[in-house]
Structure 1
Amino acid sequence: MLLKKYAGIGAVVAGLAVAFGAFGAHSLKETLTEHDLEVFETGVRYQMYHGLGLLIVALLSERFPSAAKLTRWSARLLLIGTVLFSGSLYFLALSGIDWLGAITPLGGVAFLAGWACLAVAAFRGGRSAG
């Protein structure tokens, strides 16, 4: 179940990163400042990394069934982190509302927690799987 669900979500997240990157490169180049375009591109880059991360989590969930709870939390946290981190950077770049930058670190914390859950799942799952 986790494999199918988060593999699909990861593919959508990564695909949207490609679309947002193209949008930024072609449509926003003339309207955003250089700094705001860099902020937008940072959101795209981290969205792609974590879309691929979701695919990795989905694949490893099959490999480490004894750590299913941890892989599920890893996937959730990577997705939450993507929405908070990349989403806040997109809105910050497009709107210029500075306080949105305060949300970005919450996404970063979710990323760290998601990767930590995956690491623990790998150590626990790897140990119990042989």
Structure 2
Amino acid sequence: MEFNAFRLIVFIIALIALFIVALLLKKNWRKWSYIAILALLIAYAAVEITAPMIRAHNYESFLIKVENKLNEQYPNQKWTMNKDINLYSFPYDFAVEVIFENDPNVSYQYTLEDGKLHEYARMELE
């Protein structure tokens, strides 16, 4: 399941639970449960608006780090990077696809773990 779908499911379950609690409370306490529902809606909207921006910013800094590591490890080679933010599924673990100019038939996917460049996958291109 994708992380955004999971976040939506959790939000809907929490919203339903708050509505049920609101119906079970006495009339003078319902106002506070409606305020809690409104706060949940505002918090969810804030997360939905800011999460893509934060993810894009983190991905850009990830690409800069990968490019620096590739320059250190392969100083005399040229490459192209596929900058697809959805390449790796977990929310803030990224991968980048790199194709070296001297080896155009192979695609390498790299990740960063503890500041070190790791080859995540290798795929032969047709």
**TM-score, scaled relative to structure 1:** 0.32
**Which one has the bigger strand percentage?**
2
Q: Larger radius of gyration, structure 1 or 2?
A: 2
Q: Larger relative CO (CA 8 A, sep 6+): 1 or 2? A: 1
